[in-house]
Amino acid sequence: MSTNTDTVLYDHPGPRARARNRILTVVFGVALLALLYWVYARFDAKGQWAAPLWKPFTYASTWTDYIIPGLEGTLKAAAVAMVLSLVFGLVFSIGRLSDHRWVSIPAGAVVEFFRAVPLLLLMFFIFYGVPFLTQTPMPVFWAVVAGLTLYNGSVLAEAFRAGIRAVPLGQSEAGYAIGLRKSHVMQAILLPQAARAMLPVIVSQLVVLVKDTALGYIIAYPELLQLGVNNLSANYGNVVQAAIVVAIIFILVNTVLTWLAGWLERRTRRAGRTPRVIGEAVAASGRAASGVGEAQG
């Protein structure tokens, strides 16, 4: 008798449970609306919805001088840091899985160190500390990108390592059965499946990376928070309104990123879940097993 996994992990609600769930949904919905209205009323009491405070967003100069340049700075730093973080994560995840201790131990130390240090301190040290070592000024753009890369790359390294270890052992054994080296097994079998399995975690971390670019304002990097909130509100005195607009822009950017990741995941699933080399390995293992059986017979 086959057992449905869904019914084992989660019992479908009966009539009473469904009624209770509907009641709780209504209660929490009303509570959320009440909270939103309270926030609206408090802002209204302080005059934060007054038209003059929102009027600057109807000026073309507001967008061309502050918001759009800030968004460009945010997206530029995020795009470069995303690529470098993925490369960093792949390299150091493979390094931590190395059979050579002189590789795995230093790689693990690097990952754990940069995961533990707050990103803000990383940016501070890179921007203010590196010039003492190099005797040359540190470009603010690369200070932000380096901090984002070291921190998020370390988190991604752990995600990739967890994904690789989650791949069934038989997959790599099948690769070895047809004579593949460990590097080929890692490249053709383990990494593709690990990346597909850990895609939600990877996307979540990349969304965090986009938001973390806002920390660059502390070293005066011209990103969305610096230009769209600090500089804009300094000219028009509308810090709350500027923060709301910038928050909406961040939400839209991260929503697009999440949608692209979902589209990529659906496309990779349609492309097939099992790499070709695994199929060849399984077939070779089957032929070898049949040959042994005939010899014993």
Write the class of the CATH domain 59-271: mainly alpha
CA distance 226 to 221: 7
Q: How confident is the model at residue 88 (pLDDT cuts 50, 70, 90)?
A: very high
Q: What is the pLDDT of residue 271?
A: 60
Q: What is the pLDDT of residue 210?
A: 92
How confident is the model over 211-231, as pLDDT tens digits? 999 999 889 899 999 999 999
Closest CA to 110 of 133, 130, 125, 94: 94
CA distance 250 to 207: 10
Q: Where are the beta strands (DSSP E) in the chain?
A: none
Quickly list H helices, 12-129.
15-45, 51-54, 60-62, 68-96, 101-116, 119-124
pLDDT at position 281 over 60: no
Domain parsing of the chain, residue ranges: 9-47, 59-271
Percent of the chain with pLDDT over 70: 86
Place of tokens 């300094």: 234
Q: What is the pLDDT of residue 179?
A: 75
pLDDT at position 68 over 80: yes
pTM of the model: 0.77
Lowest mean pLDDT among 58-62, 97-101, 104-108, 281-285: 281-285
pLDDT at position 290 over 80: no
Torsion, CA 261, CA 263, CA 266, CA 271, rounded to 10? -100
Lowest mean pLDDT among 92-106, 107-121, 235-249, 257-271: 257-271
Lowest mean pLDDT among 90-99, 124-133, 260-269: 260-269
CA distance 122 to 132: 15
How confident is the model over 135-190, as pLDDT tens digits? 888 999 999 999 999 999 999 999 888 888 877 777 777 777 777 777 777 777 77
Q: What is the mean pLDDT of the chain?
A: 83
Lowest mean pLDDT among 53-62, 86-95, 96-105, 270-279: 270-279
Q: What is the pLDDT of residue 105?
A: 93
Whether the CA torsion 125, 126, 128, 129 is positive or negative: it is: positive
Task: Tell which wins on pLDDT, 270 or 26.
Answer: 26
Q: How confident is the model at residue 292 (pLDDT cuts 50, 70, 90)?
A: very low
Stretch 58-79: mean pLDDT? 94
CA distance 48 to 54: 9
Lowest mean pLDDT among 36-45, 257-266, 277-286: 277-286
Stretch 91-101: mean pLDDT? 88
pLDDT at position 5 over 70: no
Residue 225: exposed, middle, or buried by beta-carbon count in 10 A (0-12, 13-18, 19+)?
buried
* Amino acid at position 168, single letter: P
Q: What is the pLDDT of residue 275?
A: 46
Q: What is the pLDDT of residue 165?
A: 81
Q: What is the pLDDT of residue 58?
A: 92
